[in-house]
Amino acid sequence: MKVSYYPGCSLHATGKEYDLSVKAVSKALDIELHEVEDWSCCGASSAHMTNHKLSVALPARNIMIAEKNEWDVMIPCAACFNRFKTAQHHMRNDEALKKEVETMVGGKFSDSVAVRNPIDILYNDVGVERLSDKVKKKLTGLKPVSYYGCLLLRPPEICQFDDYENPYMLDKLMASLGADTRNWSCKTDCCGGSLTLGKTEIVVRLVDKLMTMAREAGANCLVTACPVCFANLDTRASENVRLPAFYFTEIIALAMGLEGPESWFSMHNVDPRPLLKSLSLL
């Protein structure tokens, strides 16, 4: 399977573990990643929060580059995923805006590629059975809660991915690896996102709540698919409640016995290695 790959700014920096683990897992599952040529930032939250046209034009530039191929575009970062889908939505429904953006970017928007996140691709195109077959190390004793966050799912008309109040795809992927996935009611609760620098105390409060609820659900870790969520879970939790967090692809790579997980775990702020060693998973 061939896909266009849009890593986005985070995956080249603080989200490095996500980039490396997505690449390792894709390679092991015969998903060929072709990085979008000379990509630029999608604008994330700051663009749409302050300038509507900018927030459509920035992702549009990348969409038009990706449209040179007919492959789906895999976007691991939830914010980038959401912004690409939103830009497509606006250009589909607002002819005047579409023409304006096409002139700005110097291209044509043909709406010919599907923008997808890796949970969707792994669940629907690879499937839990095939994933299960590839497991070399069953993740017995690992009790993750699946933390989907906001932008993969909402608004539902734009994301069109999974059940937006009680999603299950990530849970099923984790269960297929032999992990004891814990059910909880905070799957889609906000971590505070981009307020992490400007209003740290709010993010601490929201993340502490997630950690407390994860513990109540009997979890010993959290699994996520968004670099901002991961950064917040990993760096903003108070010491007395915090639990290690993982990108879901790191866990898949661990279960598949691929090379790399230990080096990625060493980059986390909250070191997950003691937990994994205690479960004989490392």
Partner 1 sequence: MSTFLDEVNERINGVPIQACYHCRKCTAGCPLAFAMEYNPNKIIKMIQMGMKDKVLNSSTIWLCASCETCVTRCPNNVDIARMMDVLREMAIEEKVEPKEKSIAKFHEAFLSNIKAGGRINEPLMIVNYKLKSGDYFSDMAMGMSMFMKGKIKLFSPRTKDMKSVREIFKSTSK
**Window contacting partner 1 (CB under 8 A); options: 27-35, 112-120, 168-176, 186-194:** 186-194
Which one among 2, 35, 40, 185 touches partner 1, defined by CB under 8 A?
40
Sheet holding 221-224: strands in order across? 144-147, 221-224, 245-247
Q: Which stretch binds partner 1 (CB under 8 A): 116-124, 139-147, 152-160, 274-282?
A: 152-160
**Interface pick for partner 1 out of 50, 124, 160, 183 (rule CB under 8 A):** 50
Q: Is position 166 an interface residue for partner 1 (rule: CB under 8 A)? A: no
What is the number of residues in the chain? 282
Q: Report the interhelical angle of 227-235 vs 200-216 (nearest 10°).
A: 80
Contact segment (CB under 8 A) with partner 1 among 38-46, 118-126, 215-223, 254-262 equals: 38-46
CB nearer partner 1, residue 130 or residue 267: 267
Which residues in 69-98 contact partner 1 (CB under 8 A)? 94
What does the alpha-carbon distance between residue 66 and residue 269 come to, in Å, rounded to a whole number? 34
Quick one: which of 1, 29, 190, 217 contacts partner 1 (CB under 8 A)?
A: 190
Query: Is position 212 an interface residue for partner 1 (rule: CB under 8 A)?
Result: no
Distance CA(58)–CA(54), nearest Å, equals: 6
CA angle 200, 80, 61 (to 5 degrees): 130
Q: Residue 71 CB: number of other CB atoms within 10 A?
A: 18
Binding segment for partner 1 among 20-28, 43-51, 169-177, 217-225 (CB under 8 A)?
43-51
Question: Exactly one of 156, 218, 257, 274 binds partner 1 (CB under 8 A); which one?
Answer: 156
27 belongs to the binding site for partner 1 (CB under 8 A): no
273: enclosing H helix or E strand: helix 273-278
Owner of token pair 């700051």: 46
* Interactions with partner 1, residue window 132-151 (CB under 8 A): 150-151
38 contacts partner 1 (rule: CB under 8 A): yes
Site for partner 1 in 250-269 (CB under 8 A): 266-267, 269
| Segment holding 3, helix H or strand E | strand 2-5
The CA distance from 57 to 266, in Å, is 37
Centroid of chain to Cα 282: 24
**b or e along 30-54 (b: 16 or more beta carbons within 10 Å of the residue's beta carbon)?**
ebebeebeebebbbbbebbeeeeee
Segment lying near partner 1 (by CB under 8 A), choices 25-33, 51-59, 136-144, 217-225: 51-59
Binding site residues, partner 1, CB under 8 A: 9-10, 12-14, 16, 38-41, 43-54, 57-58, 61, 94, 100, 103-106, 150-151, 154-156, 164-165, 188-190, 192-195, 197-200, 202, 206, 235, 266-267, 269
